[in-house]
Amino acid sequence: MLKNLRGSCLAGCTYLDPFTGEPIELTAAIEISSFWRRLIDSNRPIKAAVGFANWKKSTVAPLLWAGLGPVPFSSRPVRIQEGAEVAAWKSRVSQRQLDDLAEQGVKLVEVEDGFIRSIGLGADCVPPLSIVVDRVGIYFDPQQPSELEELLEKGILTEGMLDRARSLRQIVVTSGISKYQTGMSVRAAQQRDRSHLLVIGQVEDDRSVRCGGGPVQSNLELLRRVRKEAPDAIIRYRPHPDVQAGHRVGAIAEEQLAGLADEVVASGTISEAIYAADEVHVNTSLAGFEALLRGKPVTTYGVPFYAGWGLTRDLGDVPSRRTAKRSLDELVAATLLLYPRYLDPVTGLPCPAEILALRLAENRGEQAKGVLVRLRQMQGRWKRRLSEFLLRVLK
| Percent of residues, the chain, with pLDDT higher than 70 | 84
- Given a cut of 70, is residue 189 above it in pLDDT? no
Q: Tell me, what's the pLDDT at 307? A: 98
What pLDDT, on the 0 to 100 scale, is given for residue 125?
62
In the chain, the percentage of residues whose pLDDT exceeds 90 is 71
Mean pLDDT of the chain: 87
d(CA 249, CA 205): 7
Say what the pLDDT of residue 357 is: 93
pLDDT at residue 314, rounded to an integer:
98
Write down the pLDDT at residue 370.
46
What is the structure's pLDDT at 265? Answer: 93
State how far the Cα of 273 lies from the Cα of 18, in Å rounded to an integer: 36
Q: How confident is the model at residue 11 (pLDDT cuts 50, 70, 90)?
A: low
pLDDT digits (tens, 9 = 90+) for 294-308: 999 999 999 999 999
| Helix 159-175 with 353-361: angle, nearest 10 deg | 20
**For residue 376, pLDDT beyond 50:** no
**Using one digit for the tens of pLDDT, what is the confidence trace for 33-53?**
999 999 999 999 999 999 999
pLDDT of the residue at 194:
84
Residue 23 is predicted with a pLDDT of: 95
Instruction: Give the C-alpha separation, 343 to 349, whole Å.
Output: 6
384 falls in which pLDDT band (50, 70, 90)? very low
The whole-number average pLDDT for the span 223-232 is: 96
Query: Where is average pLDDT lowest: 7-11, 90-94, 141-145, 168-172?
Result: 7-11
Greater confidence (379 vs 219) lies with 219
Which domains, ranges and CATH numbers included, belong to the chain? 16-139+339-395 (no CATH), 182-324 (3.40.50)
Q: What is the pLDDT of residue 53?
A: 93
pLDDT value at residue 79 = 83
Instruction: Determine the average pLDDT of the residues in 73-84.
Output: 84
pLDDT surpassing 60 at residue 156: yes
**pTM, two decimal places:** 0.86
Residues 314-331, mean pLDDT to the nearest whole number: 98
User: pLDDT value at position 325?
Assistant: 98
The pLDDT tens digits of the residues spanning 114-125 come to: 999 866 544 456
